[in-house]
Amino acid sequence: MAKKEVDVDVGKGGGGGLSTGKLVTILVAAQILLIGGLVAALWFAGVFGNDGGNGGGETEKKAEERETHYIELGDPFTVNVSGGNAQFMQVGVQVMSRDSKAEGAVEEHMPVIRDRINTILGAQNAEEVRSTEGKQALRKAILEDMRKVLEERYGEPAIEEVYFTKFVIQ
């Protein structure tokens, strides 16, 4: 058997086609532009933690608004309750806010807030608040009332959540 030799033109010389080097350069440049555009789009979308180019002051303000503040409402509330064999209920309460000035407002209006919470707690039936649903309803009632007090006296509801840090019924 005889071997045949085949001549293959790989684009060297003046054939008018793109050389391998030029083709690689164009492909690398296209990839760099594509990646650069993707990074720029993600940057302006805020994926990297910036604010889309709105200025440094806005970023600090937004970060402060997102910061969580937990505010303890003093000693646990102790109230007499009705229903079943229970005689009293003791509840520790903390609230959560993203307003950095809310703690001052809560402290300033603490007598009103504590009075309203004492009234709400004292109106509870011990058997009803023993259940999870009862605790959730109680938490919601306290939150709504606190937000109302702060709206009237501070100008903003300021409180987002109410948490029970202690809950004893005896």
pLDDT tens across the length of the chain (170 residues) = 566 666 655 555 555 567 888 888 888 888 888 888 888 888 888 777 655 455 555 555 554 556 899 999 999 999 998 877 878 999 999 999 999 899 999 999 999 999 999 999 999 998 899 999 999 999 999 999 999 999 999 999 999 999 999 999 98
85 and 144 assigned to the same domain:
yes
pTM over 0.85: no
State how far the Cα of 91 lies from the Cα of 166, in Å rounded to an integer: 5
State how far the Cα of 30 lies from the Cα of 35, in Å rounded to an integer: 9
45 and 109 assigned to the same domain:
no
113 and 83 assigned to the same domain:
yes
Going along 6-76, which residue ranges are E strands?
A: 69-72
Find, among 117, 106, 99, the residue nearest to 72 by Cα. 106
51 and 26 assigned to the same domain:
yes
pLDDT of residue 63: 46
Token output for 159: 């409180």
38 and 105 assigned to the same domain:
no
The alpha carbon torsion through 98, 103, 105, 110 (nearest 10 deg) reads 130
- Residue 6 domain flag: no
- Residue 8 domain flag: no
What is the extent of the structural domain holding 161? 67-169
